[in-house]
Structure 1
């Protein structure tokens, strides 16, 4: 799974859409969909990791467990 797919799955578990997550974190519409083709920035990854209480490595697919 790529970073976008991992974030999408985490949002789904919280019963929220990607758009709802973008609004909650203060991002513009389509912010996360850009991560399908472009590497995410460190600040964006940190905010998402903090929100879902997971590590940045988990979001990058380098770690199997969710807990930081």
Structure 2
């Protein structure tokens, strides 16, 4: 299955119009239409927004995997990366550490808000 087919399948499975989906990820309805017709491929940032919105991997969208979610092994890798990021943040001087945690918290809150819409 091609990228355009996967995007359309996910959108229709979630009972979204092209306009609703476009608004949800911050692009135009025309762009969604072009993606679904295979006339245009989404850029990296938009591809990530699509994956985040539908809670699937970019590899799934690109047809590199038939599994929409991370495997157990992939999840372990992601968890290790999270631990590494936390260690880096904790090694920063106090003021920089506070700023890093604030930025991370803002990002997480943004993603939660986006998923709830």
For Structure 1 versus Structure 2, the TM-score category normalised by the shorter chain is 0.7 to 0.9
Structure-to-structure mapping, 1:9-48, within 5 angstroms: 9-35=9-35, 36-48=38-50
Partner of 2:86: none
For 2:17 and 2:6, how far apart are their aligned partners in 1? 13
Partner of 1:7: 7
TM-score by length of structure 1 reads: 0.85
Q: Deviations over 1:3-25 (max 9, x none)?
A: 12101111111111222100111
Which structure's relative contact order is higher, taking Cα pairs within 8 Å and 6+ residues apart?
A: 1
TM-score by length of structure 2 reads: 0.53
- Determine which structure has the larger helix proportion and give its number: 2
Larger Rg: 2
Alignment RMSD: 1.3
For 1:29 and 1:38, how far apart are their aligned partners in 2? 13
For 1:15 and 1:37, how far apart are their aligned partners in 2? 23
Structure 1 segments unaligned to the other structure (5+ residues): none
* 8 Å contact kept, 1:19–1:29: yes
User: Where has structure 1 moved over 4 Å in runs of 4 or more?
Assistant: none
Structure 2 segments unaligned to the other structure (5+ residues): 71-117
